A and B are shown apart, each in its own frame.
Chain A
Amino acid sequence: MSELLDLTAAEAIGRIEARELQPDEYFDAYAEAAAGDELNAYLWRSEPGASPADLSGWNGSANGAEGESLRGVPIAVKDLFCTAGIETTAGSRILSGYRPPYTATAVDKLARAGARLLGKTNMDEFAMGSSNENSAYGPVLNPWDRTRVPGGSSGGSAAAVAGRLAPWALGTDTGGSIRQPAALCGIVGLKPTYGAISRYGMVAFASSLDQCGPLTRDVTDAALLLRVMQGRDPHDSTSVGIEGGVELPSREDLHGLRFGVPRELAADAEGIEPGVAANFEATLRKIEELGGELDECELPSTTNGISAYYVIAPAEASANLARYDGVRYGQREDGDADLVAMYERTRSRGFGAEVKRRVMLGTYALSSGYYEAYYGQAQKVRTLIARDFANAFESFDFLVAPTSPSVAFELAAKTDDPWAMYMNDYCTVPMSLAGIPAVSIPSGLAEPAGGGPELPVGFQIAGPAFSESRLLDAAFALERSIAFEGRPS
């Protein structure tokens, strides 16, 4: 049974196609594993032996059959994605009990391709966080060390995949929320180009940054999911898909590819732990061994990335979260309150501390008198960051950086200082602001700065917009060379 849980999704699909494995057997193996979840990774899960969840929403959906490409393979989905008739909380008290009338396009596409919903995973509330400590339903534990965080906001998805409670999972990435937990949990996490995958049905946090993406055991599985999910969706006018589709990776070396190492995100970056820095250098050597060319480059405006992000994202969030007012869905607090008091009490009781902080920050940044100084400026910094990347891609095929400045940190280690928590996103935020794709692959283990057993490190590779096929191809070659065999005990 545990051998089944060690297969990648692609391997399982291969066995199912060869009739060596029954889809129900494979699904139930995971449903049983998920039933024993001690990481608090799941908020809802399917019981072993249950029939496939019916995800038909008001606009219909042909739930797929095993004959489709994903062959009945189970998938865990972050609770930020609407799943028709199945509770969707976004990790918040304010949506407790909410059953959407429709299914998110990304999930719907997977269902039509034959994937089966295994469960909805825990997450930082409204995708705001880097440690999964902001969930209204309790923190998620890192399977490598249960006194430590799995990262966030897609912490439940990352912990489930790393902890063998799901073969693969969906997450979302606004400033690093797929890549960083993937790094901290020793798995692959991809943030596609903005616009590659529809955001319809994805509870909105920051609409110009949010992207759906896969968390998987390896790069091939990530490519498989991306291939099914990408595409233009009439329900999301910001979706364009990936022209030419997605090729499965096969590269054996990195000859002819030029990799840029941005000083600001590597050598000059603040707060990178020694173990992470050493692992990053070792991985750069592997790129050279594979025939890749390495050179330093500069992305001068990325030093202002976090500052710009923590204006733009909260500002957009303050607008997106205005809808949670107790009128049409979710929780409501009223009693004898008048309308405005109902709004205020509903939101105050329904939102957690971090969400309130960001809504306040965003409202302030957009308010009269401050709009230009904060939001206006942040949008200009964003232009400069996008330009920095575009310039770098004239000389380089890809850019590389550590995914996270540290390995998994202890629970409650950074909850007292909001800015210290925000700095976890230092190396991932610039790619989100520029809208370009970036993947994190596990590159080894390193000792935390405070000492202790070694924990996973993630290596990040970023490419130009819509370069996912080439990006994953390069990542595949590097992944083979690294041959990361680690798994949590």
Chain B
Amino acid sequence: MIFEDTLQKGEFCIPECDNCQKIVWPPSEICSNCFGNVHLKKGDFMGKIIEFSREGEQFFCMVEFEKSIRIMAHILSVPEIGQRVKISNCGIKNGNYFFEVS
């Protein structure tokens, strides 16, 4: 399965290597550690807010998942450093991935 296919359907999966179990991010079909094949791990992943700022009224934050991958996401409520969040909405918009956490 390709990451973008599942993301397009609103599901956030984490790419993981079949061979060495390393998490591969940004998504790739080949592991950057051992060049093994990568599968998509499904789950209700819990992330942690590392940093945030705000553009106009819209907060944005950097969220860390599985202690190894980070994304930039929208958040509707006022963020706090260390706050635990989950992906509440995701997909592909105008060619870009988009992520929203809460």
A, B assembled together? no
Chain A residues near B (Cβ < 8 Å): none
